[in-house]
Amino acid sequence: MADKRKYVIPGDVVTTGPFRPEQNVILDGNKIISTTVGISEIYDDSVKVIPLTGMYIPKIDDLVIAKVISHTSLSWELDINSCYVGFLPAQDVFGRDFSAHADELTSKLKTGDLVAARIANFDRTRDPLITIADRDLGKIDSGVLVEISPSKVPRLIGKRGSMIQMIEEATEAAVTIGQNGWVVVFCESSEGLLKAKKAIQMVNEQAHVANLTDQVKEMLDKKGES
Amino acid sequence: MASHSVIDELKRTQILELLEQGKRVDGRALDESRDVSIEINAIPKANGSARIRLGDTEVVCGVKIQPDRPFPDTGDKGLFICTAELLPLSHPTVETGPPQPPVIELARVTDRGIRESHMIDVTQLVIEKDKSVIGVFADNVVVDYDGNLFDACSYAATAALLSSKTPKWNWTDDAPVLAEGEETQLPINTIPVSVTMAKIGNHIIVDPNGDEWASMDARVTITTDSDGNICALQKGGNDGFTLDEIVKCGETSIKVGAKIREKLKAASQGVQ
């Protein structure tokens, strides 16, 4: 398990020795150096830095919430809260017999629509290829979009989904978390919706705090009583 | 430009549903503008300046006053020019480079509101007729964007002009010469206040915030002077206004404008 957590800035030597450099660190000689502002974590044989800030860099198979910003006759352009623009080909939605003449793209997705999507392919030389052809993916018809920092997404999910399960159970809300920091909250009751939004914002703002789970639980319980 | 950012459909629906119930996303009344906070003399070295916060929209305006050549056809009048620009840090969609049409419109509407109200008595800004006049330049910079830049820039420029002190120049040897230590207030006739109203569905709301701005169908900016006269109007957006709606907008702009005028007056008098 991780120990020796400490705050690092780019250039800081996290540790020295026979470790495998993972995310946001580079190996220089036998020194492992951070490349970002974050919290370093040293495992048995590997070292990584969890960034405190930063934007979303797509990874293959990530679930993201995307917003349609425009379309051509063959594809949609999606805002995935990244420096890259998501590319959703029309075949993905219409099927292989898609015809640019017969099918109108706006009949399926218009500008401003939100979709739950998956990164199908990405290699930094081209814009990320998006797919919505899967179970649980596709257009989102109801709910509220909450934006958090992409670097806080793991904290919002928690260990094996503990944090988000707790929020969902306490508020009876359904929460879809995109790895890109966009979260859609759906709840029948407006009170539950507000509570869930508040809890998510709390995680976003206090992700670095040690016993965050307890604090969020306390907030959720307290508001329930009043 | 920020007004081109796409709003998600869920939020647009939410805004519309709330308006059907007579409510707004941030809890304001339909004819209620956001809180205006005014900081006079935000830039100490300028002839006049102001920093305005309209909700989360923030604009800084600086005024420069200097001798200039008059336009050939108006040699008996000083110059007044108002500009506006957006800093890239104001919104993720704003980039550096030449201003986009919406930003050019912003500068023109801000300028026109002040110019057509005849706020500054430019006939008093002449150093030597047809040769040299005093030029007043009000430059707005948008630092943070959350909708309704028209009003924020207008308030910033007005507040900055109200607090401006103009140096005095004498005409000696065919050139304007600065008279040291003789600063006066700008000759102010009236205080123009612009009020922007957005139409979303069939509802008209005052001072739209960023989300409302992105989901509106049409907008109208009406500037009124201290006497409650309408002196400038700009309509934008694809939808139209009915005659009744425009009349109502006019009345609203006078009513809302009067409150903001008091704030502008109080802020500038606090400094003098």
User: How many angstroms separate the Cα of B21 from the Cα of each of B14, B27, B217?
Assistant: 11, 12, 18
* pLDDT averaged over every residue in chain B: 93
Q: What is the pLDDT of residues A29-40, one digit of tens each?
A: 989 999 999 989
The answer to whether A145 contacts B6, with C-beta atoms less than 8 Å apart, is: no
Neighbours of B185 (CB within 10 A): 14
Helix (H) or strand (E) holding B203, with range, is strand B203-206
Residue A141's closest chain B neighbor by CA?
Answer: B10
Q: What is the pLDDT of residues B54-68, one digit of tens each?
A: 999 999 999 999 999
Q: Determine the pLDDT at residue A137.
A: 93
Contact residues, chain A, for B12 at CB < 8 Å: 112
The answer to whether B8 contacts A69, with C-beta atoms less than 8 Å apart, is: no
Q: Does A111 touch chain B (CB under 8 A)?
A: yes
Query: How many A×B Cβ pairs under 8 Å?
Result: 27
Q: What is the pLDDT of residues B27-53, one digit of tens each?
A: 999 999 999 999 999 999 999 999 999
Q: What is the mean predicted confidence (pLDDT) over B140-167?
A: 96
User: Nearest to residue B100, comparing CAs of B4, B6, B196?
Assistant: B4
Residues A32, A15: Cα–Cα separation, whole Å: 6
Residue A83's closest chain B neighbor by CA?
Answer: B92
B258-261 contacts, C-beta under 8 A, 24 or more apart: B258/B193, B258/B228, B259/B33, B260/B33, B260/B36, B260/B155, B260/B193, B260/B195, B261/B191, B261/B193, B261/B226
In this predicted structure, the answer to whether residue B214 has a pLDDT above a threshold of 80 is yes
Mutate to test the interface with A, among B5, B10, B25, B215 (most CBs of A within 10 A): B10
**Which residue in the block uniquely carries the two structure tokens 């800081």?**
A12
% of residues, chain B, pLDDT over 70: 98
Q: What domains appear along chain A, each with residue ranges and CATH number?
A: 3-51 (2.40.50.100), 63-140 (2.40.50.140), 144-225 (3.30.1370.10)
Residues B54, A169: Cα–Cα separation, whole Å: 39
In this predicted structure, the answer to whether residue B186 has a pLDDT above a threshold of 90 is yes
Q: Does A113 touch chain B (CB under 8 A)?
A: yes
Residues B264, B163: Cα–Cα separation, whole Å: 10
Residue B8's closest chain A neighbor by CA?
Answer: A112
Q: Determine the pLDDT at residue B123.
A: 95
Q: Does A145 touch chain B (CB under 8 A)?
A: yes
In this predicted structure, the answer to whether residue A220 has a pLDDT above a threshold of 60 is yes
B147 three-class SS: coil
Q: What is the pLDDT of residues B65-105, one digit of tens each?
A: 999 999 999 999 999 999 999 999 999 889 899 999 999 99
Q: What is the pLDDT of residues A132-181, one digit of tens each?
A: 998 889 999 999 999 999 988 988 998 899 999 999 999 999 999 999 99
Contact residues, chain A, for B9 at CB < 8 Å: 110, 112-114
Q: Determine the pLDDT at residue B2.
A: 44
Partnered with residue A65 across adjacent β-strands are A116
B263 Cβ contact partners less than 8 Å away, ≥ 6 residues apart: B36, B38
User: Nearest to residue B79, comparing CAs of B68, B95, B92, B64?
Assistant: B68
Length of chain B: 272
Q: What is the pLDDT of residues A27-67, one digit of tens each?
A: 999 899 999 999 898 888 899 898 888 889 899 999 999 99
The answer to whether A112 contacts B14, with C-beta atoms less than 8 Å apart, is: no
CA angle B38, B44, B49 (to 5 degrees): 40
The answer to whether A112 contacts B9, with C-beta atoms less than 8 Å apart, is: yes
Contact residues, chain A, for B10 at CB < 8 Å: 114, 140, 142-145, 184
What is the CA A140 to chain-centroid distance, rounded?
16
Residue A185's closest chain B neighbor by CA?
Answer: B10
Q: Nearest CA to CA, how far is A141 from chain B (Å)?
A: 7
Contact residues, chain A, for B25 at CB < 8 Å: none
**Which residue in the block uniquely carries the two structure tokens 């620009």?**
B85
Mutate to test the interface with B, among A64, A71, A109, A114 (most CBs of B within 10 A): A114
Helix (H) or strand (E) holding B83, with range, is strand B79-86
**How many separate domains does chain B show?**
1
Crossing angle for the helix pair A212-225 and A162-171, to the nearest 10 degrees: 0
Residues A153, A25: Cα–Cα separation, whole Å: 20
Q: Nearest CA to CA, how far is B9 from chain A (Å)?
A: 5
Q: What is the mean predicted confidence (pLDDT) over B110-133?
A: 95
Ranges A77-86, A118-127, A209-218, B151-160: which has the least confidence? A209-218
- Are A30 and A55 in contact, with CB atoms under 8 Å apart? no
Q: Nearest CA to CA, how far is B13 from chain A (Å)?
A: 10
In this predicted structure, the answer to whether residue A195 has a pLDDT above a threshold of 80 is yes
Ranges A54-58, B201-205, B226-230, B237-241: which has the least confidence? A54-58
Q: Give me A78's structure tokens.
A: 């999606």
What is the CA A224 to chain-centroid distance, rounded?
28
* pLDDT averaged over every residue in chain A: 89
The answer to whether A110 contacts B11, with C-beta atoms less than 8 Å apart, is: no
User: Nearest to residue B62, comparing CAs of B78, B44, B77?
Assistant: B44
Q: What is the mean predicted confidence (pLDDT) over B181-188?
A: 91
User: Nearest to residue A153, comparing CAs of A163, A144, A145?
Assistant: A163
The answer to whether B10 contacts A142, with C-beta atoms less than 8 Å apart, is: yes
Residues A135, B63: Cα–Cα separation, whole Å: 59
The answer to whether A67 contacts B6, with C-beta atoms less than 8 Å apart, is: yes
**Which residue in the block uniquely carries the two structure tokens 């809260």?**
A81
The DSSP annotation for A9-64 comes to: -TT-EEEESS-EE-TTEEEETTEEEE-SSEEEEE-SSEEEEEESS--B---TT-EE
The answer to whether B9 contacts A143, with C-beta atoms less than 8 Å apart, is: no
CA angle B107, B112, B118 (to 5 degrees): 140
Q: Determine the pLDDT at residue A51.
A: 85
The answer to whether A114 contacts B12, with C-beta atoms less than 8 Å apart, is: no
**Confidence at A209, pLDDT banded by 50, 70, 90:** confident
Question: Could you tell me the residue range of the domain that residue B253 belongs to?
Answer: 2-269
Q: Determine the pLDDT at residue A217.
A: 87
Q: Give me A11's structure tokens.
A: 């250039």
**Confidence at B3, pLDDT banded by 50, 70, 90:** very low
**Confidence at A223, pLDDT banded by 50, 70, 90:** low
In this predicted structure, the answer to whether residue B129 has a pLDDT above a threshold of 60 is yes
B89 Cβ contact partners less than 8 Å away, ≥ 6 residues apart: B143, B144
The DSSP annotation for chain A comes to: --EEEEEE-TT-EEEESS-EE-TTEEEETTEEEE-SSEEEEE-SSEEEEEESS--B---TT-EEEEEEEEE-SSEEEEE-SBSSEEEEEHHHHH-TT--TTT--GGGT--TT-EEEEEEEE--SSSPPEEE--STT-EEE-SSEEEE--GGGHHHHH-GGGHHHHHHHHHHT-EEEE-TTSEEEEE-SSHHHHHHHHHHHHHHHHSTT-TTHHHHHHHHHHHHHH-
**Confidence at B4, pLDDT banded by 50, 70, 90:** low
Residue A115's closest chain B neighbor by CA?
Answer: B8
Q: Determine the pLDDT at residue B158.
A: 97
Mutate to test the interface with A, among B5, B7, B9, B13 (most CBs of A within 10 A): B9
CATH number at residue B181: 3.30.230.70
Burial class (CB in 10 A: 0-12, 13-18, 19+), B194: buried
Give the DSSP letter of residue B145.
Answer: -
Residues A77, A87: Cα–Cα separation, whole Å: 5
Helix locations, chain B, DSSP H: 9-20, 101-116, 149-162, 210-215, 243-269
User: How many angstroms separate the Cα of B118 from the Cα of each of A4, B12, B149?
Assistant: 68, 39, 22
Residue A78's closest chain B neighbor by CA?
Answer: B6
**Confidence at A226, pLDDT banded by 50, 70, 90:** very low
